[in-house]
Structure 1
Amino acid sequence: MSKADLFLEKKRRGEKIVVVTAYDAPTARIEAEAGVDIILVGDSVGVNILGYAHEREVTLADMAHHIAAVRRGAPEIYIVGDLPYATYDTPEMALASSRALRDAGADCVKFEGAQPGLVAALAAEGYDVCGHLGLESQHQDVKRRQGKTAAAAAKLYDDALAADAAGQKFLVLELVPQELAGRITRAIRSATIGIGAGPETDGQVLVVNDLAGVTTRDFKHNRRYGQLGAALSGAISAYAADVRAGAFPGPEHSFHMVDDERAAFETWLRGRAGFTPGRA
């Protein structure tokens, strides 16, 4: 049984799958220790870590770099990596890009849109594939809810079935109505991972910066479980104040040379040509 099949078994047993993003080794280590099931190294790294204005700016090299960091931090966890914009326009491109992410440490590759042909091509080469329907950040400039009309919902439903038949292992459903997400989840073999798609999916994913309060943006689909941004700001402000006041470092943060070594050093300094006492 493959790693992905273990998650499909969880779906069959009705056990929820916990997914969260990570972009670096320390965060990945913390998430693994906290017991998450899957780490997603998403193209959200662009706006959350790299300072890009849009996910479309993320490169394949960016993704490989951050996937490798996450793998070092969480050697055993299942990692899904995003194929960035314009790196999977053809099956040949998708295979080459997927190879780069797998070499960096990804167990599964994810891409946006209804492309069952790409799913089939990647699956035929032994890749675990995660689809992504609903809001597609790489391709939609305005981030709004999807599948609100019957016609739009029907298309997403059919797209999900087609990708499932092509061999995907997972399907992210983003910002789609709960009713539609539930219908898709019950209709396909793949494990569905929701974000803003209600509680009926097989699992949930959130961006770690959003759930931990690193960012201050408010989203309807997010619950802020911490205030790390405020805590970090407070810690750095306190540090800056202590440095400026001369309160840090204190005696407990410093160390001294032993007496004979210090004396030898001072003797050496006095013997240097041009040495002036009191000058560093």
Structure 2
Amino acid sequence: MSVHTSVKRTTVPQLMACKGQRKIAALTAHNAAIARLIDPLLDFILVGDSTAMVAYGHPDTLSITVEQMAAHGQAVVRSTAQACVVVDMPFGSYQESPELAFRNAARILSVSGAAAVKLEGGQALASTVAFLVQRGIPVMAHVGLMPQYVNTMGGFRAQGMNDESAARILADARAHEAAGAFAVVLEGIAEPLARQITEALAIPTIGIGASPACDGQVLVTEDLLGLSERAPRFAKRYADIGGAVRQAVAAYADEVRNGVFPDESHCFGIKKSL
């Protein structure tokens, strides 16, 4: 069921206008239940390709498809009314050519109703970003540690830790800004580099394992809530919902096995004695 409200949803231009004015708060979501809870509290919700790991149990983000991302995006959009919704373009859906990227981005936005897409890549993808933006598709870029490049990067390792790597990432971010990206995610990079990029760009930077100087921050919600098996170093755990779930399920299972649940108050057709 769609959420109806008089509150207007945050737009891409409004996110861009936050640069230098206030910090941007964002989290991931891939289902209606979580999206509905976090919607009033955030500026944007990212339907991340991390869904492959947290929802499907894959070891990395590479296995999720365009149709899956579109469907999860649709669930998030349907159950929210305030936060801007951005959907990750999955691995293999945009790298081949700008034309392929446009077809898949258009598919994701038309099915989900989201406002924008996010794609990972350096300067080589800047022409693709420009191609999409010129055709009406807002793009959030993603540089630094890029999970879709896990095989070429040799794992989930911090980036920009030497001068050569830092210079390349700065050039990547500048190229995406010049191509028309409305924001850029900086993931897993050296703090001084993230600070430098944030100061150098006129568009917002969204940090995840980057720097408090970034214009905004995003985390995987499951890491924040204690629902992930293993959270990365840069994630802060604000609650142990996983522990609460285990405790509740243990109590339920115990009551079922001991005949305590359900009792008459949970049943139908039983006449109560006067």
Q: Which amino acid aligns with 2:268?
A: F
Q: Within 5 Å, give how 1:1-280 maps onto structure 2.
A: 3-13=11-21, 15-33=22-40, 35-89=41-95, 90-103=97-110, 104-114=112-122, 115-141=125-151, 142-256=155-269
Alignment: residue pair count: 256
Q: CA deviation at 1:254?
A: 1.4
Corresponding residue SS for 1:46: helix
Matches of 1:69 and 1:8 in 2, distance apart? 25
Q: Find runs of 4+ consecutive structure 1 residues off by over 6 angstroms.
A: none
Q: Look up the equivalent residue of 1:201 and give its one-letter code.
A: C
Question: d(CA) in 2 for partners of 1:164 and 1:187?
Answer: 10
In the superposition, the TM-score normalised over structure 1's length comes to 0.88
- TM-score scaled by length of structure 2: 0.90
1:180-199 alpha-carbon deviations (Å, 9 max, x no partner): 11111111122110000010
CA distance, structure 2, for counterparts of residue 91 and residue 219 of structure 1: 33
Higher relative contact order (CA 8 A, sep 6+): 2
* Higher Rg of the two aligned structures: 1
| Structure 2 unaligned blocks of 5 or more | 1-9
- Partners of 1:39 and 1:222 lie apart in 2 by 17
Alpha-carbon distance, 1:258 to partner: 6.4
What are the ranges of 5 or more consecutive residues in structure 1 without an aligned counterpart? Answer: 260-280
Could you tell me the percent identity over the aligned residues?
Answer: 38
In angstroms, what is the RMSD of aligned CA positions?
1.4
Superposed CA deviations along residues 151-198 of structure 1, whole A, max 9, x for unmatched, are 110111111111101100010000001111111111112211000001
Alpha-carbon offset, residue 257 of structure 1: 5.7
Instruction: Specify the alignment match of 2:6 in structure 1.
Output: none
Deviation at 1:66, TM superposition (A): 0.4
* Distance in 1 between residues matched to 2:162 and 2:234, nearest whole Å: 20
The alignment partner of 1:57 has SS state of: coil
Query: Contact 2:145/2:156 (CA < 8 Å) preserved in 1?
Result: yes
Letter aligned with residue 88 of structure 1: Y
